[in-house]
Amino acid sequence: MKNIKKRRLLVFLIVFVMATTVVFAAPVISDTIKVNFQGKDVDFGEMNIYNDDGRIYVPYRQFFESIGYDVEWDDTTKTAFAFDPLRISDSVDREQKVDAALWQLSAEARACFWQSFNLATLRFDQALEEYEDADNLAVIADVDDTLVDGVMFTADVLQDGEWSGAAFGESLASDACLPLPGAVEFMNYVVDNGGTVFYVTNRDPSLREVTYSRMEEMGFPMVDEDHVFIREEGMASSKESRRQGIVEQGYEVVMLLGDNLEDFSDLFPVTEGVTARRDAVDDMKDQWGDKFIVFPNAVYGDWEKAIYKYDKTKTLEERMADKKAIFDEYKYNQ
């Protein structure tokens, strides 16, 4: 039998086989009942549909196969499985990220990274002209999905791989963990021209050593405890205190790089929702492409948390309703 864990599992039904004879009242066979699933009429062929006291019973295999699902039977566990071949992940919330992850792997995304680092190089050259002391200039960068590609881990998670800190650490140590286009070149350009680079990341302390070793192997400069600021135990996700610590050392921070607004400032709170964050971005419009260089990340980030105002008590159904509400604000046909 195929590895069920790695297949697209949508419906899981356990069929109990009774050893004794059970007598049921005869249900009503109906040729007038129609079944529609997600906008598609289901064709049962010669199989009967039963109406038993207001409940509709349909043949399991015929139902799912008629709408394009694969059906398997495990005689050992007496379990019927139905799989949607058009899905990659078992989980609804993960499946929603499939196309976003594919976009991150696209040529368009790659062009965005080259473009952003080209702009960052231009801005750093301008800073060198503006400030007399290059040794005093600093660039602060996020790590994951700003300098280092995280889609190799996402690709595994979306196919029902383990989603844990340990699994993430294994991915970072693998050869699949690579720098993003232009990242190594830019960070070295800053250092080669007298500047200092700092890495401010929310990676767990348990990932400190693999962070040092892999980033050094990739060719990033200044990868040490003086320049890498991990989210220490008990520390808030906000990076503001770590950024301030760099400023307090006497550095002139001329640029910040990140894929999430939290990488730049604490002025974009997810609990206030989507509109408030958009307004905050507009209030700082002169910073984008100047001091703030933002990189594309359609897979995850505070942008998604803001949709449901980071209310962790909300169910998947409630979060889906919140997403729909965002679309309803923008659709042309109100």
Which residues, in sequence order, are CB contacts of 190 under 8 Å at separation 6+?
Answer: 124, 137, 139, 196, 197
Query: Where in the sequence is the domain holding 60, given as residue range(s)?
Result: 4-83
Instruction: Give the end of a domain, one of 42, 58, 83.
Output: 83
pLDDT of residue 177: 93
**129 and 220 within one domain:** yes
- The count of domains in the chain is 2
**137 and 69 within one domain:** no
| Nearest alpha carbon to residue 185 among 150, 218, 145 | 218
- Give 18-61 pLDDT, tens digit per residue: 333 333 344 555 566 777 777 778 777 777 787 777 787 888 88
**287 and 187 within one domain:** yes
Write the CATH number for 134.
3.40.50.1000
**25 and 48 within one domain:** yes
**147 and 50 within one domain:** no
- Give 52-85 pLDDT, tens digit per residue: 777 878 888 888 887 788 888 888 988 888 878 8
**Rg (alpha carbons) of the chain, rounded to whole number:** 26
pLDDT beneath 50, residues of the chain:
1-26
**78 and 34 within one domain:** yes
Type of residue numbered 285: K
Instruction: Give the end of a domain, one of 83, 101, 121.
Output: 83
pLDDT of residue 129: 95
**177 and 243 within one domain:** yes
**185 and 52 within one domain:** no
Beta strands, E only, the chain = 9-14, 28-30, 36-37, 40-41, 49-52, 55-57, 70-74, 79-83, 137-141, 196-200, 228-229, 252-258, 292-294
**106 and 39 within one domain:** no
**268 and 156 within one domain:** yes
The sheet that has 292-294: what strands, in order across it? Answer: 228-229, 196-200, 137-141, 252-258, 292-294
Instruction: Give the end of a domain, one of 56, 83, 110.
Output: 83
**279 and 201 within one domain:** yes
**216 and 194 within one domain:** yes
